[in-house]
Structure 1
Amino acid sequence: MSLYSLLYLRKDISGTLCYVTWYIVISMEDRQVDKINRLATYLFAPPMIPENITGINNTWLYNRAPAGYKFLLDSMQISTTQEEGRDGIFACFDGHEYTHWNIFPGVVSHELLYRGELNQYILNLDANLKMWECKEYSLALRSSSQELPVKVCVIIWFYLRKMTKLEELQYAVMQPKGDMYKKSFRTTVDTGGI
């Protein structure tokens, strides 16, 4: 929250001039609605263990828009260092994504917005997200080297937009807030009814 003060002259009841101060409180979301915003984050993924199927090879980062707002994702820049520890796979998903991504053949997500690979020839990636609208997005990073971890810097450019009541209800169903729903779905197949 930011506090702004406005000072102006006005006449009081007796007719003399006096200064009146008005204080206006403006939240961060209100100030940044009409301008592009930037979020810089750093991700680190450990060296890949090919036999591991628990998902610890993947590093996840989630970002949810403030209450009453949605993201319009403009673009992303991803870069890694020229030193060791640069081989990896980066992905961005719409919503809160958590799968054993890139572990099992055929485990794919239809919510994928961007995927790119970093190696000794490709140190920087640019992703045009075409003003994608979402309430929450997930970033994923995975090392493709068995010896070295991977470290990246991700800069995300986005706009915040106020949601209508209908959009708030839509995103409450599509991308609900909280952690309970994310672990409530089954992880095994029930074959009893077959």
Structure 2
Amino acid sequence: MTEPVIRPAIDADASALGVLGRQTFIDTFVEGFAIPYPTDDLAAFLDASFSADTIRAKLKEPGAAWWVAERDGQLLAFANTGPNTLPHPDAKPSHAELRRLYVSKAAQGLGLGTKLLDVALDWMQANTDGPLWIGVWSGNLRAQKLYSAYGFKKAGEYQYLVGRWLDDEFILRCG
């Protein structure tokens, strides 16, 4: 088995990114954190967020960047950044936001999350005119600890829609 490679995502990755995103969301939030999303809300969210067409459109979004960790042709993890969308009074669209950092269950412990975070933060710092932003689920203490080690601090709270379900999220800022 070869070492995983981190590279920019391409249009041909859209379907695999959708499958990986969907499964990682389920593994992390439904099975791991046991968030009791109503079935219809979860299905609507997963279909809207992780269809190949949605991913293909997001890959082309102006100001966004995507990277994948791949081994032997299989996607193991990904990161996505772009113009800030978080609802904070100091946040502007010209600031950079880490939108997703997903590592598959099979790739946990390989250090891919940290490697992707390093790549994403370097890109974000080079493509912003202000602080860096991250939204993170309030119950994800492991992610919060990781982001804290990179200098991110809680700057606010908001609710993230999963269908009609509202997840309590923290807004983190660095800089």
Task: Using CA pairs under 8 Å that are at least 6 residues apart, name the structure with larger relative contact order, 1 or 2.
Answer: 1
Instruction: Determine which structure has more spread, i.e. the larger CA radius of gyration.
Output: 1
Structure 1 or 2: more strand by fraction? 1
